[in-house]
Amino acid sequence: MKKFILATIAGLYSFALWYIIGAFYSTSFDITSWSVETRAVISMFGGLTSFITIITYIMWDDIKP
């Protein structure tokens, strides 16, 4: 259970990184003032990166050499 919680936290951090990238690109932390394209790109890349981070963190013991 501890591994799952840490994996979720790592996934949240990776999504937060994409959110901050979008905030600096749009010069606003308020997501309602972002363009539709920016929101779509940030949610796509942020969600994908978060998912990959969580799966990699959970399966790290199985994939490391």
pTM of the entire structure?
A: 0.80
52: amino acid identity, one letter: I
Residue-level pLDDT at 64: 67
Interval 2-23: pLDDT, tens: 888 999 999 999 999 999 999 9
d(CA 23, CA 29): 5
- By C-alpha distance, which of 48, 46, 22, 49 is closest to 35? 22
Higher-pLDDT residue of 38, 60: 38
Residue-level pLDDT at 39: 92
